[in-house]
Structures are given as C-alpha cells and as structure tokens.
Amino acid sequence: MPLLCCVLRPGTLCAQAKGETPRQFYDLASQQFTKGDFAGAKNSFTRAIELDRLYADAYRGLGMTDLELKDYEGSYHAWLKAVDINPQDEKSKYFLGRLFYEADIPNQAAAWLREALKLKPDDYQAMTYLGLSAEALGYDQTALQLYHKALSASKSQTHPYSWAFLSLANLLKKQGEEKEALLVLEEGAQKCPEAHELAVLGELLATQNEPQRAEHVLRQAIALDPTLSQPHYRLGLLLKSLGRLDESRTEMTKFQEAKRREDQAPKITALQKQVSSSP
C-alpha cells in the first residue's frame, strides 16, 4: 500500500517527511477535524491506527469523525475498540451511550452512560443522556433528578448545557408544568442559546399568547441552524395565525425542504440490526 501523502499548507512539512509517527498523524487529524475537514481527518486517524494498533485516542477520534460523516456503524466499532484498549476512556463510553440512545436502544445506552459516570461523576453531558435514557425507559422521576443534577454540574463548571435545559423543559411540559418549562427554557436561551432549545421555547411562547416574542425566538433559532426543520414549521404556523400568509408559505416551503433533507439522512436507528454490545 502506498504511503499516505498529506496535503498541507505551503511551507508545512507533511507527517511522512517527519517520519510518519502515529502522534504526528493524530495531531494532523485533530487539526483537520477542528477545521471541518472530516474526510481528511478520517484518513489521518486511520493512518495513525495503522502505525499503532493500540492507539486508543486515535480510535476515539476516528469514532468522532465517523459520526460527523454519518457512518454510525463506523463510530460504534471505533469507540468500542477505544474502550477495549483503554477501559478508563470515559469519553468513548459516553459517546457509545449517546449513540445507543439516539439509536433508540435506551437500556444499553444507560449501561454505557453509567460506566462513563463511574469514571467521571461530574460529566453533565453523560448525566443528561442517562436522564434521557431513563425517561425513555419510563423512569421519569429518575430522569428529572438527573436533569437537575446535570444543570447544576454544568453551571458550576461555567459551561451551561443547552441539552440539559431542553431535556428538563420537555419533561416538565410532558408533566403539564408549562410555566416551569418556560422558565427553564428562558434561562437556557439566555445562558446557552441553541437552535433546538429555541425552537421549543418559541413554540411554547406562541401557546402563551406571546406572538412577538415567539417570532423573535424562532427566527433566532433559524439563524443559528437554518437546516433544522422544526423552527421553520413553528414559524410558518405562527405567521399563518397572524394573517401573514405569504411569509407563512415561504417558511412552510423551507420546512418541507429541510424535512426532506432530514428524512434522507442516514438513520442511527439502522444500528439496531448491527450492534448489541453492553459494557
């Protein structure tokens, strides 16, 4: 097999010229990942692994890259290899738990997330997804406790986590506590605005007879992520209720386009036929 040739900026030596060490390819892959060059990062992480078959960090990076490329089976196998090599790799265990949750396999998700939290008890992301897994399994009170704990941990680490705010608000809504959910979402929108979170806030504001605020929040969600279908849909409905029919039709067209792209994307649920491993 020919040696991998790295295409870098002029004046930068490629890893091959420096001796082709696994660490050099890992560092190159990390730079490519940060810049959004996921295909390049995959090649570089793969080369690092070819040079060192026990390079757990490179397997974790490969899994993250495969996730960006929507190769979910590839992510699964890379992270499984990472934790096989290094059982102390908390982050790969978290990634596996999250992958299983999004593949709608909450029992295995919970098993991996509990393992991650044994290694890092203050991982608010793992707490949030363990809460989501508990909720999917019907343990709403456990989920509620985990969401509150995740919010507290993320705030104490000065990294308020939008998915913890959103998950708590969604559960409160499900329990009929819409005013409490609104307060949670408003705090999240102030501290860590994110498109999914703002879409739900906009929807809730519309039901609370606050159309101007709802429109502002939904447009903010679209500005953060115009590829997300839900804010376009909610804004279209809101504009229709306000009699702004032309604007509503425009948003509904954007919703249909975004929804079509979402439906055509590879589905993580396809993993259900491929994987069944628990820690």
| Separation CA 278–CA 16 (nearest Å) | 38
- Domains in the chain, please, with CATH? 1-87 (1.25.40.10)
pLDDT per residue over 41-85, tens digit each?
999 999 999 999 999 999 999 999 999 999 999 999 999 999 999
Confidence tier at 20 by pLDDT (50, 70, 90) = confident
What would the mean pLDDT of 191-216 be, rounded to a whole number? 96
Instruction: Retrieve residue 239's tokens.
Output: 């504009």
Burial of residue 100 (number of CB atoms within 10 Å: 0-12, 13-18, 19+): buried
226-248 pLDDT, tens digit per residue, is 999 999 999 999 999 999 999 99
Please say whether the beta carbons of 167 and 133 come within 8 A: no
pTM (predicted TM-score): 0.87
**Whole-number mean pLDDT of the chain?**
91
pLDDT digits (tens, 9 = 90+) for 114-168: 999 999 999 999 999 999 999 999 999 999 999 999 999 999 999 999 999 999 9
